Chains A and B, each alone.
Chain A
Amino acid sequence: MMKYTESHEWIKLDGDVATVGISDYAAKALGDVVFVELPGVGDDVDAGGELAVVESVKAASEVYAPIAGEVTAVNDALEAAPETVNAAPTEGGWFVKMTVADASALDALMDEDAYKDYCAGL
């Protein structure tokens, strides 16, 4: 199941590996993404720590790690095709895969419905 943060990242747990990206709302708000800077495989990240940088025609912003863990893979394809973040933010536009230090940390994040309500209130 997909979970969301207030800073508009999504995270999806698959066994013991989590995939992280930015939400459709975030991709729309950013506008056309022109550059994505990804972390190194093997980097340790804290919950709320900087995970990646995404740059659009309007702004550059940070992508934060929804939970703590170690980066196990990054979506290199975004380097050549940053537009994937706009076209398919929750699929081909994923940013990193990471281990999950503590799966219960996911419980604190919003589910789909809660996130929808959260965005509607922004």
Chain B
Amino acid sequence: MNNQGRPTAPDAANTNTLAPKTHSGNQALNQAVQLIFEVGDLATTGIDLPQPKGTKSRLGDQARKGPIGLPGLSEPETMRHYVRLSQKNYAIDLGVYPLGSCTMKHNPRLNEKVARMPGFADVHPLQPIATVQGALELMSELSHWLMTLCNMPAVALTPKAGAHGELCGMMAIRARLDADGQTQRRRVLVPESAHGTNPATAVQCGFTVDEIPASGDGRVNLDALKARIDSNPDDVAGIMLTNPNTCGLFERDIIEIADAIHAAGGYFYCDGANFNALVGRVRPGDLGVDAMHINLHKTFSTPHGGGGPGSGPTVLSDALKDYAPVPYVVQTKEGYDLVENADDKSFGRMCAFHGQMGMYSRALTYMMSHGSDGLRQATEDAVLNANYVQASLSDVMTPAFGGVCMHEALFDDRFLKDTGVDTLDFAKAMIDEGYHPMTMYFPLVVHGAMLIEPTESESKQELDRFIGSMRHLAEKAKAGNVEMFKQAPVYAPMRRLDETQAARKPVLRWVEPEEVGVAAE
């Protein structure tokens, strides 16, 4: 226990009576981690400079009077703190990271090398255009690749993640509708399996969401969709559809869906988060898509999920391209230039500057090093891997839908029925097996959902080990080892955390222990 009554040391291994409880709380390389406030203390400072002579403060009454309230740590203490934390972190560089809908693929080291080249890494957004021609060329080249892979005539690079790209696409749709005087079109159709960012984006743009039910096979119910459109085609602004959808299934009726939306006078927003299942095989422009974001951080291998920022370039159709946000790169006779000012059609600006340069350089490196044939193979391998996982687990776990999947395998919790183990327990047991758990309880349309996306990064050997662990756990659950699951994780540094309390009563600020004492009185 630390001085706030919070256990800091792993006690799981203590089921082994030979393992002594150490005085330090450390267990060899498994070091106990204290909060940074507990490493240093408020009264000390890691940097002790003499008061500069002969200077006079001009801050007047703005000068700080009390202490700043941050712990004072020396450089080695600071380094150790973060290194210890990093050693407790799960990462794609450590093991299989099958988090569905997130495409946690390997981030090639070549990307990192290119991203660190000074011409890309050390540029400033306010630098004169003539001095950043290489960076602009890279952005232009990336745009070209994205437009080609999608068969779409325009792309807005600036959106900073998938959800931001959705906002970009929906703002373009809204701008077009407003420009055409179609201001009565304020309804956006969203299938019930959609990622939460879809309805949130629609609402953010001033639309109202109409939920479209799924059919029994996990895809959009086309009849229900058409019935909704027919009931009032004039209020339909568009549809937001994910393909492959969040159940990992290809929306077979996508062309008919696109036609129905267009016939009604609406636009088709495609959520491209799952583009890793399509690259090189399917071009969204051929499906009738009007706008689609591409999560560079998923499909094109830029580190994400605590490892780096997102980037959500959004491709636009002929109908929407004039409404694209600024700034964007253009090629002129003299070289590359930036269009900074919106004309009367563009819906404006989403970011102060030009987007995530570090993601652009990594994504383009990935594309160019794979080539178009390599990108297609990556797609095929991703789909093959997911189907291998699904097929290898189908006899012990319960796939949510029949048939082949795309890039992710979705299971429900029927195989856990009457075992006393639920999806959460199963995920926690995966932590003990040394794997990051799969996505759970999403999509919401599937009971106790477990969504596994292996990506193309995993070899057959690696997948077989992972499948072996999953089979082992499924069999343990069915054999009645409930306690093992309820206790899990026992090997994680912090055991099972109280997620409910953390959500109900989040502690967002560190308070000095004395204060805690005072407050308790």
* A interface with B by C-beta (< 8 Å): 32, 34-35, 55, 57-61, 82-83
B196 located at the interface, meaning its Cβ lies under 8 Å from any Cβ of chain A in the complex? yes
Q: Which of these, B196, B444, B503, contacts A57 with CB under 8 Å?
A: B503
CB–CB A58/B196 < 8 A: no
Query: Contacts of A82 on B, CB cut-off 8 Å?
Result: 504
For the complex of A and B, the 4 pairs showing the least CB-CB separation, nearest first, are A34-B503, A32-B500, A58-B441, A34-B504
CB–CB A59/B504 < 8 A: no
* B interface with A by C-beta (< 8 Å): 196, 441, 444, 499-500, 503-504
Query: Contacts of B444 on A, CB cut-off 8 Å?
Result: 59, 61
Alpha-carbon distance between A59 and B504 when the two chains are bound, in angstroms: 14
Query: Contacts of B196 on A, CB cut-off 8 Å?
Result: 60
The residue on A at minimum CB distance from B506 is A34
User: 17 new A-B pairs (CB below 8 Å) besides A32-B503, A34-B504?
Assistant: A32-B499, A32-B500, A34-B503, A35-B503, A35-B504, A55-B503, A57-B499, A57-B500, A57-B503, A58-B441, A59-B441, A59-B444, A60-B196, A61-B444, A82-B504, A83-B500, A83-B504
Alpha-carbon distance between A91 and B160 when the two chains are bound, in angstroms: 46
20 examples of A-B residue contacts, CB within 8 angstroms: A32-B499, A32-B500, A32-B503, A34-B500, A34-B503, A34-B504, A35-B503, A35-B504, A55-B503, A57-B499, A57-B500, A57-B503, A58-B441, A59-B441, A59-B444, A60-B196, A61-B444, A82-B504, A83-B500, A83-B504
| Residue in B196, B499, B500 whose Cβ sees the most chain A Cβ within 10 Å | B500
Alpha-carbon distance between A35 and B504 when the two chains are bound, in angstroms: 7
| Residue in A57, A58, A82 whose Cβ sees the most chain B Cβ within 10 Å | A58
Query: Contacts of A83 on B, CB cut-off 8 Å?
Result: 500, 504
Alpha-carbon distance between A32 and B503 when the two chains are bound, in angstroms: 10
Query: Contacts of B441 on A, CB cut-off 8 Å?
Result: 58-59
Query: Contacts of B499 on A, CB cut-off 8 Å?
Result: 32, 57
The residue on B at minimum CB distance from A83 is B504
Alpha-carbon distance between A13 and B446 when the two chains are bound, in angstroms: 33
Query: Contacts of A55 on B, CB cut-off 8 Å?
Result: 503
Query: Contacts of B500 on A, CB cut-off 8 Å?
Result: 32, 34, 57, 83
Alpha-carbon distance between A102 and B331 when the two chains are bound, in angstroms: 66
Alpha-carbon distance between A35 and B500 when the two chains are bound, in angstroms: 10
Nearest-CB distance from A121 to chain B (Å)? 13
Alpha-carbon distance between A60 and B503 when the two chains are bound, in angstroms: 12
Nearest-CB distance from A25 to chain B (Å)? 12
Nearest-CB distance from A65 to chain B (Å)? 16
Query: Contacts of A35 on B, CB cut-off 8 Å?
Result: 503-504
Nearest-CB distance from B150 to chain A (Å)? 32
Alpha-carbon distance between A61 and B196 when the two chains are bound, in angstroms: 11
The residue on A at minimum CB distance from B196 is A60
Nearest-CB distance from A59 to chain B (Å)? 6
The residue on B at minimum CB distance from A86 is B500
Alpha-carbon distance between A35 and B309 when the two chains are bound, in angstroms: 29
Alpha-carbon distance between A83 and B500 when the two chains are bound, in angstroms: 9
Alpha-carbon distance between A34 and B503 when the two chains are bound, in angstroms: 6
Nearest-CB distance from A101 to chain B (Å)? 22
Alpha-carbon distance between A39 and B262 when the two chains are bound, in angstroms: 36
Alpha-carbon distance between A61 and B445 when the two chains are bound, in angstroms: 12
Nearest-CB distance from B180 to chain A (Å)? 30
Alpha-carbon distance between A82 and B503 when the two chains are bound, in angstroms: 11
Alpha-carbon distance between A83 and B504 when the two chains are bound, in angstroms: 9
Alpha-carbon distance between A60 and B196 when the two chains are bound, in angstroms: 9
Alpha-carbon distance between A83 and B444 when the two chains are bound, in angstroms: 21
The residue on A at minimum CB distance from B504 is A34
The residue on A at minimum CB distance from B442 is A59
The residue on A at minimum CB distance from B422 is A31
Alpha-carbon distance between A32 and B501 when the two chains are bound, in angstroms: 9
Alpha-carbon distance between A57 and B497 when the two chains are bound, in angstroms: 12
The residue on A at minimum CB distance from B500 is A32
Alpha-carbon distance between A34 and B504 when the two chains are bound, in angstroms: 5
Query: Contacts of A58 on B, CB cut-off 8 Å?
Result: 441
Query: Contacts of B503 on A, CB cut-off 8 Å?
Result: 32, 34-35, 55, 57
The residue on B at minimum CB distance from A32 is B500
Nearest-CB distance from B210 to chain A (Å)? 12
The residue on B at minimum CB distance from A122 is B447
The residue on A at minimum CB distance from B444 is A59
Alpha-carbon distance between A61 and B442 when the two chains are bound, in angstroms: 13
The residue on B at minimum CB distance from A82 is B504
Nearest-CB distance from B428 to chain A (Å)? 13
Nearest-CB distance from B414 to chain A (Å)? 12
Alpha-carbon distance between A32 and B502 when the two chains are bound, in angstroms: 11
Nearest-CB distance from B223 to chain A (Å)? 19
Nearest-CB distance from B55 to chain A (Å)? 51
Query: Contacts of A32 on B, CB cut-off 8 Å?
Result: 499-500, 503
Alpha-carbon distance between A59 and B500 when the two chains are bound, in angstroms: 12
Alpha-carbon distance between A83 and B501 when the two chains are bound, in angstroms: 10
The residue on B at minimum CB distance from A61 is B444
Query: Contacts of A61 on B, CB cut-off 8 Å?
Result: 444
Alpha-carbon distance between A54 and B500 when the two chains are bound, in angstroms: 14
Nearest-CB distance from A45 to chain B (Å)? 15
Nearest-CB distance from B281 to chain A (Å)? 32
The residue on B at minimum CB distance from A59 is B444
Alpha-carbon distance between A59 and B499 when the two chains are bound, in angstroms: 13
Alpha-carbon distance between A35 and B502 when the two chains are bound, in angstroms: 12
